[in-house]
Amino acid sequence: MTEFTMTTDADGVATIIWDVPGKSMNVMSYEGLAQVDKLMDEALADDAVKGIILTSGKEGSFAGGMDLNLIAKMKADAGDNPAKGLFDGVMDMHRLLRKIELAGMDPKTQKGGKPIACVLPGTALGIGLELPLSCHRIFAATNSKAKIGLPEIMVGIFPGAGGTTRLVRKMGAMAASPFLLEGKLVDPAKAKAAGLIDEVTDDPMAAARDWVLNAKDADLVKPWDAKGYKMPGGAPYHPAGFMTFVGASAMVNGKTQGVYPAAKALLSAVYEGALVPFDTALKIEARWFTSVLMNPSSEAMIRSLFINKEALEKGAVRPADVADQRVKKLGVLGAGMMGAGISLVSAQAGIEVVLIDQTQEAADRGKSYTSDFADKGIARKKTTPEKKEQLLSLITATTDLGALKGCDLIIEAVFEDPKVKAEMTQKVEAVIPEDCIFASNTSTLPITELAKASARPEQFIGIHFFSPVEKMLLVEIIKGKGTGDRAVAKALDYVRQIRKTPIVVNDARFFYANRCIIPYINEGIRMVAEGVEPALIENAAKLVGMPLGPLQLVDETSIDLGAKIARATKAAMGDAYPDAAVDDVIFWMENLGRLGRKTKAGFYSYDEKGKREGLWDGLGGSYAIAEEQPELTDVQHRLLFAQSLEAVRALEEGVLMDIREGDVGAILGWGFAPWSGGPLSWLDMIGAPYAAERCDQLTAKYGDRFTCPDLLRDMAAKGQSFYGRFGETAAAA
């Protein structure tokens, strides 16, 4: 497949166009690298060529980077000695980019090279920016929608095609760190201001051509190849540079708790590379990049956070034979926090919204959420007053159910009371079109039960948002027993419209996400009851990559909600209810009125403004700290297994229908240790035999809730992994 082509004009300007057939955006492949390498060789050797322009044939983008599908299997493709195979492959990439950079110039005189410009019509990410960074000048089109940067760290790798070494030498470690360590993406104007690219213009091809035809020898010499080069901000052996590196290291460790291999490797590559000449630094970068590619975390992160996330967003689990169900008019019942957030994200997607509440004041308050959100955007120059008006014009706040006429989707977000919900369902079904889909945003009530109030149970479904709606990326779609395919397709098409990631699960107590997060919180609280040092519980959670410790999480979601869930679960389970020790602590806290952040008192103490201060020292008064504290690994495993075993049980019971959804949903829904790729990926990482053995040990020590699920036991016996057992499509059924 031809991915790069070259033409040379009468003035000797060779234009190399990157245009991968059948892709809406270029991505780099092994074949592409070989092709651009060959064309560069030809252009550099051809006396008729005076200069080169590298650009893309895609409108609005240069490239999305190296093909992440390829990176995910690079290790498997690298032969019997994968570390060597990977290192050699990375060094080949470095050689190509270095060849572009040196452009055939005489190494002694630094003269006689051919100018190479890169033209970016828009988005340029990963190697799609590293390749331009090796050229002599980068011209970008004026395109405020374009994203420019190095997002590799977000999927568990780092810019390993010279981007790390070049950026630090170009702008200094301090200025480079948001791009390298946080994967910050910017539009062309900001990229130019930051020094990532050189020019932004309406006609970048003309500007590049002009530059190529007039460039001087000195214009081709990169700062790091020029005599007397000094790293901006200082190299680590200078006091200022040293402090930058110490600060960056502390910041990275603070943010990642050392569990993300890519962040550590990146810092090492930057530090060690800054001490040595450029070409040696590239080798060091290649060595660290290889170590990251060898680490199972990078494969798991790419799989869950890019490949499978994207597959779910693009309809991997959508019923195939249902026509397009995009939403035109949405009715939202209940203008509280969830209803208001759902209205906001729907209006942002251009959907007409009718927001209903019992009083006009309540409905207006819900709409004002969108207004306030837009005001913040205006203050931060992310939107304009005109766009705000446009957004607000899409939302009708009213008490009149008649306004729901013509809606093709209703999302009910009223009080979590089955009676209230049933009444609303019936009232609303009387006015909406026959074919309208009715969804409940309940987080706790079974969909099949709620659907009993509906005259059209096949059109009844759960669409469960997480709070705050505008920030949380996951939407959990719940199929009740009677839910039909059109309702599932409608929910999926709607989630795609609002640009969130869906998972589809079968109905069961707490569905999937809450079902897994509750055992995590409960395990933390149970440890408090046992006298485990609360700081040990919270830190153990952070050290395995959970964004919030279980005690902080219950403070955020509120302790009275925890108590309410505990009462309802106990009522439903009767004697089989396993969490009495947890209730002891939860009800005690509830009686004390320490309900979490909202009362500025919970497992943590808060100041007047609600800022978290530290763990509440009164806890030890009733739940004395035991003299003997458990091993850190035991605490960590209790917290991880509590969630992961629940995910396995959800899979066994058919609540989860696809293991991709189990992993993606866990990371996006409740922040399950992203470095691991999700709970099922984590179990794959530690291996089923070890996981089963740990289950037995934890069961003997702490109780039956750690009993190894049959599925995991069977996998252990057969030496299987989840992704191995469930195959390419990863479908559980």
Ligand X SMILES: C/C=C/C(=O)SCCNC(=O)CCNC(=O)[C@H](O)C(C)(C)COP(=O)(O)OP(=O)(O)OC[C@H]1O[C@@H](n2cnc3c(N)ncnc32)[C@H](O)[C@@H]1OP(=O)(O)O
For ligand X, the closer of residues 262 and 517 by Cβ is: 262
How far are the Cα atoms of 412, 432, 462, 652 from residue 733, in angstroms, in the given order?
A: 30, 35, 21, 10
Question: Coil, helix or strand for 242?
Answer: helix
Q: Site residues for ligand X, window 502-561 (CB under 6 A)?
A: none
Residue 473 binds ligand X, judged by CB under 6 A: no
Member of 14, 40, 66, 282 binding ligand X (CB under 6 A): 66
**Shortest distance, position 154 Cβ to ligand X, whole Å:** 6
User: Distance of CA 54 to CAs 13, 83, 117, 139, 334, Å?
Assistant: 11, 32, 6, 10, 54
Verify binding: residue 68, ligand X, rule CB under 6 A. yes
CB of 290 to ligand X, least distance (A): 11
92 is a contact residue toward ligand X (CB under 6 A): no
Q: Pick the closer one to ligand X by CB: 128 or 462.
A: 128
Considering the candidates 299, 440, 441, 464, report the single residue annotated as catalytic.
464
The reply to whether 443 belongs to the active site is yes
**What does the block give as tokens for 518?**
């509750």
Distance, CA of 658 to CA of 317 (rounded, Å): 8
Q: How many chain residues interact with ligand X (CB under 6 A)?
A: 22
For residue 152, the minimal CB distance to ligand X (Å) is: 5
Regarding 133 and contact with ligand X (CB under 6 A), the answer is no
Q: Which of 160, 172, 457, 662 binds ligand X (CB under 6 A)?
A: 160
Q: Is 155 in the site for ligand X (CB under 6 A)?
A: yes
Catalytic residue among 61, 143, 440, 514: 514
Output the 3-class SS for 598-650: HHCECCEEECCCCCEEEECCCHHHHCCCCCCCCCHHHHHHHHHHHHHHHHHHH
Query: With respect to ligand X, which residue has the nearer C-beta, 121 or 151?
Result: 151
CB distance 550 to 520 below 8 Å: yes
In degrees, rounded to 5, the angle at the alpha carbon of residue 520 between the alpha carbons of residues 519 and 525 is 90
Distance separating alpha carbons of residues 162 and 128, to the nearest angstrom = 12
Shortest spacing between CB 33 and ligand X, in angstroms: 10
Conformation bin of residue 162: beta by default, left when phi > 0, alpha when psi is -120 to 50: left
What is the residue-wise DSSP string for 522-586?
HHHHHHHHHT--HHHHHHHHHHTT-SS-HHHHHHHH-HHHHHHHHHHHHHHHGGG---HHHHHHH
H or E element at residue 100: helix 82-102
Question: Is 421 among the residues that bind ligand X (CB under 6 A)?
Answer: no
CA 130 to chain centre: 22
Least distance to ligand X, CB of residue 655, Å: 29
569 binds ligand X (CB under 6 A): no
Catalytic residue among 476, 523, 533, 661: 476
Query: Which residues in 2-31 contact ligand X (CB under 6 A)?
Result: 23-25, 27
> In the stretch 253-292, what mask flags binding to ligand X with x, by CB under 6 A?
----------------------------------------
Burial class from Cβ neighbours inside 10 Å (0-12, 13-18, 19+) for residue 261 reads buried
Taking contact as CB under 6 A, which single stretch among the options 48-56, 58-66, 212-220, 723-731 is the one that binds ligand X? 58-66
| E runs forming strands in 170-254 | 185-186, 199-201
- Is 514 tagged catalytic? yes
CB of 58 to ligand X, least distance (A): 9
127 binds ligand X (CB under 6 A): yes
Clarify whether 476 is annotated catalytic.
Answer: yes
Q: Which of 67, 357, 429, 507 binds ligand X (CB under 6 A)?
A: 67
Q: Give the interface segment with ligand X, choosing from 62-70, 509-517, 553-561, 605-613 (CB under 6 A).
A: 62-70
DSSP string, 142-183: --TT--EE-GGGGGT---TTTHHHHHHHHH-HHHHHHHHHS-
Decide if residue 132 touches ligand X (CB under 6 A).
no
CB of 130 to ligand X, least distance (A): 6
Distance, CA of 412 to CA of 428 (rounded, Å): 10
Stretch that binds ligand X, among 147-155, 453-461, 489-497, 515-523 (CB under 6 A): 147-155
Residue from 51, 65, 339, 484 binding ligand X (CB under 6 A): 65
Peptide bond into 151 cis (omega under 30): no
Stretch that binds ligand X, among 64-72, 393-401, 514-522, 724-732 (CB under 6 A): 64-72
Task: Say whether residue 310 binds ligand X (CB under 6 A).
Answer: yes
- What is the smallest separation between the CB atom of 352 and ligand X, expressed in angstroms? 24
Q: Is 147 in the site for ligand X (CB under 6 A)?
A: yes
Smallest separation (angstroms) from ligand X to the CB of 110: 27
162 close to 134: Cβ distance less than 8 angstroms: yes
Tally of CA atoms within 13 A in the half-sphere of 50 that contains its CB: 13
Binding site for ligand X (CB under 6 A): 23-25, 27, 64-69, 71, 123, 125-127, 147, 151-152, 155, 160-161, 310
- Which residues are marked as active site? 443, 464, 476, 514
